[in-house]
A = this chain, B = another copy of it.
């Protein structure tokens, strides 16, 4: 048994992850990493086959050293969960019993409520080969199972821990559409900016005889404006589009930008007012 975090720090993290008789150090490490990805930190092992510490576990944890350093090892599952108030058992197989069976979303909502109420919680994960025994499941309060394709129902333990950790993280979010980063801040274009784009494009096309025959011009302008306004462009996007039009308008293929004095380039005289 070892631990570097104080009890208080642990309690603030969320549910304890308990692996029962894990066999491969790589899996323990991947579990630690998955926990770190989603803000969990307290990992307990019941009788790991290859003992503890395990260098393969540390390596597979890919720098989630705080989880590996804090691992606690127990001889029995009872001892591993003795200080907890509420425990889920994960299983892919149907169990015959009275215990409630929950989806990960429901389970993590419950875990979050209990966490907010100051309870200590845990999630049990079984052996690589055959999961948890019925006796081990019986020690849990409720069962959690994943909404998998029944033909391919078994997840490896690192994947199962990943999904529960991910749902745990989400259960603490006010808004599930929230993301860690956002696109470049953009403000919707004003109508004035949109009208500037209309003028710019129409003027450049007019200069080239695009609106032909003249009788069709009003309809052609309508169509063009419909295309340019179908999407609500942002101010920045209008800037980009006007840059494109200006470039096409001002520079000939034979004389790209910088290779001919600007005053000689095609259409320049007409467009100075529009140059962005």
Contact = CB atoms under 8 A, between A and B. Distances in A.
A149 B183 contact: no
Q: Is the interface of A mostly helix, strand, loop or mixed?
A: loop
B148 A103 contact: no
Interface string A120-155: 000000000000000000000001011111111101
Contacts of A166: 146-147, 163
Contacts of A97: 183-184
Nearest to A186: B98
Which of under 10, 10 to 19, 20 to 34, or 35 or more describes the interface residues of A?
Answer: 35 or more
Copy number in the complex reads 2
Contact of A147 (B102, B162, B173): B173
Interface in A154-212: 155, 158-159, 162-163, 166, 169-170, 173, 176-184, 186
Contacts of A152: 33, 36-37, 63-64
Given A34-B159, A162-B159, A98 B39 contact: no
A177 to B, nearest CB: 4
